[in-house]
Amino acid sequence: MGKGITAKLLRSSLYTLTNIRTKPSYKKEAAATEELSGYPRVININQPAIPDDTQQPPIFCTNYVSTTKYTLFNFLPIALFEQFNRVANFYFLVAAGLTFTDYAPFDWPSQVVPLALVVGFSLAKELYEDLQRHWQDMTANCQKAAVHVKNGGFETKQWREVCVGDIVKVKKDEFFPADLLLLQSSYEDGMSYVETMNLDGETNLKVKRALQNLSLPAAEDDDKASHFSDFLATIRCENPNSNLYTFTGNLEYNGHIYPLDPAQLLLRDSKLRNTEFVYGVVVFTGNDTKVMQNTTQSPSKRSKIELQMDKIIYLLFGLLIFISIVSASGFGLAVRNTIRSWWYLVPEIPGEDFDINNFVASGLRHLVTALMLYGYLVPISLYVSIEAVKILQARFINNDLHLYDEVTGVPANARTSNLNEQLGQVDTILSDKTGTLTCNQMDFLKCSIAGCPYGKRPSEVELAAAKQMAAQDESSDGSLSDSSSLEAITVTDDGNINKKASSIKGFSFQDDRLEHTNWLKEPNSDVILLFFRILAVCHSAIPEISEKTGELTYEAESPDEGAFLVAAREFGFQFIKRTQNSVVVKERLKKDQEPVEKEYSILTLLDFTSKRKRMSVILRDESGQLLMFCKGADTIIFDRLASNGKTYLEATTKNLNDYGEAGLRTLALAYKKLEEKEYSDWHEKFHNAQISSGSNREELLEELSDEMERGLTLVGATAVEDKLQNGVPECIDRLALAGLKIWVLTGDKMETAINIGFSCSLLRQGMKQLCIVVSAEMLAEAAKDVVKENILSQITTGMQSIQNKKEPHTAFALIIDGKTLTYALEDDMKFKFLNLAVNCASVICCRVSPKQKALVVRLVKEGTGRTTLGIGDGANDVGMIKEADIGIGISGVEGMQAVMASDFSIAQFRFLERLLIVHGHWCYKRISKMICYFFYKNITLALTLFYFEAETGFSGQMHYDDWYMLLYNVFLTSCPVLALGVLEKDICAEFCLQFPALYQQGPKNLFFDWYRIIGWLANGVYASFVIYLVNIRIFSPESFRKEGQTADMYVIGTAMFTSIIWVVNVQIFLVSHYLTSVQLHTIWGSIVVWYLIVYIYGLMPVQWSAGNIYQQLPEVLGPAYKFYLSTVFVTILCNLPYLIHISYQRCYNPEDHHVLQEMKNMKKDVTDRKMWKREQVKATQETEIGLSARVDARMRMKGKTTRKYSSLAYSSS
């Protein structure tokens, strides 16, 4: 299923339009027009402009869609502005410009070339990504559409040429080129079926209905539609807006006015299915279409490490300014006090290099030079290197076979690489339930009809409870304790235990009283008959013949509805056909007879919405009786029952509570008989409300629907099971052992959510449940202040319970419903609610809306300051996913909307364990080490320039060749640090999972805190001092060769630079825990390449080098043993402190990963399993949720019981 959905998405060339926001170019008509017509938008079908109209024709935007960020003309200005908006890049831009002046201490290539490479790489990346969007736009805009022209013919045009008012023909499996108003379809009744997966993420087909009573001739599938040649009509409708589910307006044709609603609107980016062709008129084009109105760019997210890295850069800028001021002050003092006596340094032209008579001006001029000279403190290639590393890390995540779902064929997908290391710092997971923890595959399991419960098969929650009870009561008398056997048995009426029969998809019901037409023998068979008919008729599903199996399947708007239809079919009431005005059902009313086809005329359909929480159909059966069938949430239906319709209310309520405790999703079913006059009077008012153009149209329709849906008679209730995904309890247990907090945010009722919590071990027996709930009566009758005071009282009581707990291992679970949460999230109460929530072991929010999910995530993120992760699979989870620091989308059966809004996508919840505990841990460690090392190696280089400056009177002279400086960050030291960021592992993936508490190194930020950062910066200061001091003392002032030659400035510079290359590469060798051949080649290869560069550079003509570099290595430094001695001595001396530190730490104060590394090297996991298991137990976070917490609680209970019996035995003796 998932693979098919992915394939559909990939075949769509339009799905990218939902990613990037573009500003609509729609121009609203004058207010006078709006007041005159009631609707602001006027569309003339088949007449784009009226010649006799003195007013300016309405201006609509074209159907050309562009999602690109840049154009040909603004690419360079905008892209360059964004690049130099970074403070580091702007600094290097100014420095590069100053290299062309006399202030520069080096030639222009040493600054311009690195900056050009860094910015060029970023620009190339931006250009590539925007070209990808442009090509996708071109593919969409150049698609072909059949547009009506004169004489009823159709001409093939590109999508971008389609205009408002055109009549368009769309064939089966084609996308709609714009938002169309459905005029006619291949079906006589004007019905059509549309797939809207790319819009709202839902995979179920939607039914669209053409306007009735238009009196259009029957449509044929040819290139002519002559009846449209003289079809002139006017549409007056709403302006473009982003609401996918609303559309209001009127169609004026032949003197009649026809009301328009969303059932006639075919949206761009949706596809025609199960319908040969449709004709529609274009109402919205281009940026006015609803899909483009809904395009919003995901919020920009940056990891905490990246934010802290900015602070380090500012710190380095502060150091840069400080030493530049010191250097400028030193030069100014030198000009005032000593340079006058150095006649050979006085410039020939006064003021050319410095003004000997104005030491202040000379100092200020030197300040500019110093700011450029010490600029190597700030790593110019840091941003690009991190970006490259993160892209490669994302590739490893995408290619991880352990994150690949073999059933659906869906791999993990890092949709953004900016947050890789943030995966290793998550503190709280906020998860959806349906489709995320559960499969979103509904099975009809139980039902209640006329107050009598039916269905003997246990749910997974009941099985989990049975396993737990069996485990607790396990004894030597042979009582049932094998948990695997519990899953394969069911209990029938007579109490016999039978093997579980193979169930039909969507139907796991087992009760002989209703199956095989045995329901006819039941005392309330007439009510049962009505129950089955409501299942078979009250829906909006579409029957479809499977091309593979030839069997009848159903395309329903929800998995629940599909399960109801499968159940009705298995009970003998098979829905086989739907037209615009009727539903046909095959009913088996006698055991020995063939099913009889019955047709029900559908008069009015009141659709299900999240606000109404119910749907109804008004129909006429074959006997002429008017009926209304209704199904919906139990609380909604119960409030609408007639006084004589509550016969089964008490029994049904009890059954619903039982079903909730079993973790099942429930709906109530009811009906109502109607009189002809009652319906005709109501329908007249309803029709008038439909064609009205007032602003209160929706409210009026809702009032009339509510009026009709009163006085119902309760029939029964359904109970379907949403099964847990494979591995969810184990995954939650591992995440809990890793120290993560898990919250569940669901739209389900409280009882269902609680019992799913028990089945996945978020809740357990013995855990204190703090339920923050306000009664419906109080919400309806009490003032807002009274309600808030009641909620605050409950929160305060709950907090006191936690603070005054007597047992140290007592765990608390917070459960709150959506209505109560509305008040708890208000500004004056939300932090008190949060304080209670963070002190609970688990939090479950029930009956929450998509907006509330996002608000809860925001509260946790801002209130705790910790990293949050939102995970969900449906369109209703998009807000939560976007609001969280990290958004995870699951490629489930609810479509791809959550995936398209996410930062990472996985196929199953269980993959979250490896994504966080393995990849998150690795990426956090890698990026932390990489950034610290980057700053270390730049400080090591830059401060040697400062020391040389101080020794030469702050003259601004640099002792390194310009090309050495140019190649240092860009080439000589870049590959080892990239390898470190991509391949480093402190421990293997298996150990990460076996010792999940190691994950806490990320949330606690142990490897990128200021203590470690300052340590690395201090290491760089120490290394730079040793490198400079040792080399300057070895090579100056004595001769460094046996022939007696002394070293000039460039000889000392090359020797010192050689020491730097060795020191920083040996340092990265020492900090690497996992040395692969790639890392070894990059480390030692960098050293070899350095010698080759010095050798080849020395062979070039003298005019190509800045100083005395010619033949420097083979003739000057090569023969001198001091050159090699200084390199070895400096390398050892610089890295000795780190070796001493790490040796002491491993011996006397080891970190967790140090212990595991030693144990692995000594093969303790094989030779000493007892020690290995003991360390595993020690390396787990103490948790109050998950399977481990359940086992711990049970062991504590056994320990108490043992101590109790022991004390009794002692006292009796």
Q: Which of 179, 200, 432, 877 is catalytic?
A: 432
Query: Does residue 829 sit in helix, strand or coil?
Result: coil
917: its two tokens: 């505990």
- Cis bond before residue 1037 (omega within 30° of 0): yes
Q: Which residues pair with 720 in a beta bridge?
A: 444, 665
Element (H, E) at 329: helix 304-337
Let me know: does 716 contact 448? Beta carbons within 8 Å: yes
DSSP code of residue 261: -
Let me know: does 437 contact 872? Beta carbons within 8 Å: no
Let me know: does 640 contact 608? Beta carbons within 8 Å: no
- The CA–CA distances, whole Å, from 1070 to 3, 188, 721, 1065 equal 46, 78, 56, 9
Please report which residue ranges of 952-1040 form alpha helices under DSSP H.
Answer: 962-967, 974-983, 989-994, 1010-1035
575: phi then psi, degrees, rounded to nearest 5: -75, 120
Count of CA atoms in the C-beta half-sphere (13 A) of 142: 6
- The CA–CA distances, whole Å, from 96 to 24, 99, 886, 909 equal 41, 5, 38, 50
Let me know: does 1034 contact 1059? Beta carbons within 8 Å: no
- The CA–CA distances, whole Å, from 372 to 107, 230, 320, 845 equal 11, 76, 9, 57
874: its two tokens: 């449906």
396: its two tokens: 């490893």
Q: Token match 């003739």: residue?
A: 1115
658 tagged catalytic: no
Let me know: does 1061 contact 1090? Beta carbons within 8 Å: yes
Strands 426-431, 867-872: pairing kind: parallel
> Which residues have C-beta within 8 Å of that of residue 377, sequence separation ≥ 6?
316, 319, 320, 938, 939, 942, 943
> Which residues have C-beta within 8 Å of that of residue 221, sequence separation ≥ 6?
171, 186, 276, 277
Distance CA 260, CA 211 (A): 8
Q: Token match 């037209």: residue?
A: 579
Let me know: does 670 contact 641? Beta carbons within 8 Å: yes
Let me know: does 258 contact 213? Beta carbons within 8 Å: yes
Query: Does residue 491 sit in helix, strand or coil?
Result: strand
Distance CA 374, CA 369 (A): 9
Nearest C-alpha neighbor of 264 from the set 277, 250, 243, 252: 250
Q: Token match 């508490």: residue?
A: 997
- The CA–CA distances, whole Å, from 306 to 278, 419, 879 equal 52, 9, 24
Distance CA 276, CA 265 (A): 18
Nearest C-alpha neighbor of 164 from the set 154, 177, 174: 177
Distance CA 477, CA 568 (A): 44
Let me know: does 843 contact 857? Beta carbons within 8 Å: no
Locate the DSSP E strands across 749-791. Answer: 768-772
DSSP-derived secondary structure for 73-114: TTHHHHHHHHHTTSHHHHHHHHHHHHTTSTT-SS-THHHHHH
Q: What angle do helix axes 921-951 and 359-373 make, rounded to 10 degrees?
A: 150
**Integer-rounded Cα radius of gyration of the chain:** 37
Q: Which residues are catalytic?
A: 432
